[in-house]
Structure 1
């Protein structure tokens, strides 16, 4: 969906070569996209509900974000049968990305009452639906519940609620280290939650309860879910070389969602220990 969003914006602004993408960056004045389209999601990353488009600038390389209200789909159709052919690792990896949307918007520095409701309900749905879809992949009810949970999880993002370091670092892991979109959340979200716990422990306790067990931290529950879904839990499992970690820490500071992390991140020296723990 992000490729279609970027293509619609590029078409409206006469972008014909990669270098002209610079015209579309956030902060530039762009011509509104007018090409209508329908989205039928086959994964759980929920990009179809937002006006953001993630792209990779291969000159750096770094994953960056384009934004314009005109690039969201005109219609989204949820059809669980369309997810049956999605590779398991991709489907469930993006499911953890949806969990990440819910977690980081619930913990956001500018969370809204509406987002609190949708994010928390998403976390009541997603862990159970993902586990059931894993054990019974042919059951379309479980897959539909995953799609509904993903939709709920991203409502905060679609209305301007800021995310945090799991997404910020994840963008760089995707662009610089080539990690798949969802798997960055599998690895980084538990570590970011533990890093932030000193400033939002009460909010994290609500997450833990919504996920099913108030006596186990949200970070630990997410880490267990990642393992149960046969997804990678460490950077080394995703073939990220350890010597690349300082570069990733440096590049992360350019992401829009590092400054909005609940616990202040002042520089690469704060990011590197997170990456080391995740490696």
Structure 2
């Protein structure tokens, strides 16, 4: 297991208070805020953070579209450069989080055009090797304040989409991980229900693909078990009562725990790999990718080996049931989509998704061997 450079996690404190304290701790003088547009313009949450920072606040920027297109990330980097930022704070969902971490990498490498992203992106060779060309990390640190449950704020890996190829690609360095993550459940009340629940299922998928992995271990499995139980309790609670802050915090801690094993080195499988392509290429919301794919992938895995599935079902409160069935019922109970047709992906896109999936870092790392695009097509057709 390996770990990132995140030093602190604030649990349950107001975001503005925690950010000011960390900025002072680091001696920051030019704090740049990268915020979700809705949070910035339709709530007072970003304004509270700006007020708490006072003279330390240098600038605020918004405008990151879903799946973090390169052009949007570059524009944010240009704004941070113009502000002479020495600390970046992200406040928002997964795309804002990803963008903020990549911004620090772009500044370090003096990237001033979208073509400049290319030498920095992680790629997969024809024989399946994952190559990360980044050797020098950013000097500017980030603080991440997530308002969704995908968990990317804990990861040194971030994704941005190449608009030319419509391919979402990864960027990674240990120093890209935030110095602090702020879990403020009160701030998440502004997150639309569908987004909160669907990204929660994304973290469910982190835990499920850890527990299903033949490359996991007792440490990782224990974290994934706890994460899945917290999410299985918290997500229905918040759906029943959006003002249940304890339920929201359980979800946030579950999302955090679900990420530790991924960060530590346990690879995810086809659900995540396919999901990256459905998002960046087919414009499916990030969380919906797992809502659709997770049960079908586990059913496909079970045809090869279901020996690690009992714990998944138990965590979902359905001991003895097939993991794919328990997952399907849980996701349907949250009112989330369950087929590719429901999220606007028809069979005419399947070959492209399958081909791109093989280029993903997790395209061939699941417990059932993936040898060609035909294997991915089998899963996609079951999810049609």
TM-score normalised by L of structure 1: 0.97
Look up the SS of the partner of 1:194 in the other structure.
Answer: helix
- Structural mapping, 1:88-167, within 5 Å: 88-167=193-272
Q: CA deviation at 1:231?
A: 1.2
**How many residues end up aligned between the 2 structures?**
279
Gap runs ≥5 in structure 2: 1-96, 123-131
Gap runs ≥5 in structure 1: none
Matching of residue 15 in structure 1 with residue 111 in structure 2: yes
Runs of 4+ in 1 over 4 A off after TM superposition: none
For the 8 Å contact 2:134–2:172, the answer to whether it is kept is no
- In structure 2, C-alpha distance between the alignment counterparts of 1:128 and 1:251, rounded to whole Å: 35
Q: Which one of the candidate residues 199, 218, 224 is aligned to 2:323? A: 218
| Structure with the larger RCO, 1 or 2 (CA within 8 Å, 6+ apart) | 1
Report the counterpart of residue 31 of structure 1 in structure 2. Answer: 136
Structure number with higher strand proportion: 2
Report the counterpart of residue 83 of structure 1 in structure 2. Answer: 188
Matching of residue 268 in structure 1 with residue 364 in structure 2: no
Q: CA deviation at 1:105?
A: 1.5
Q: CA deviation at 1:106?
A: 1.8
Q: CA deviation at 1:127?
A: 1.2
Q: CA deviation at 1:263?
A: 0.4
Report the counterpart of residue 83 of structure 2 in structure 1. Answer: none
Matching of residue 65 in structure 1 with residue 170 in structure 2: yes
- In structure 2, C-alpha distance between the alignment counterparts of 1:121 and 1:66, rounded to whole Å: 28
- In structure 2, C-alpha distance between the alignment counterparts of 1:97 and 1:185, rounded to whole Å: 5
Report the counterpart of residue 145 of structure 2 in structure 1. Answer: 40
Look up the SS of the partner of 1:77 in the other structure.
Answer: strand
Look up the SS of the partner of 2:307 in the other structure.
Answer: helix
118-127 or 20-29, larger mean C-alpha shift: 20-29
Matching of residue 257 in structure 1 with residue 257 in structure 2: no
For the 8 Å contact 1:13–1:30, the answer to whether it is kept is no
Structure number with higher helix proportion: 1
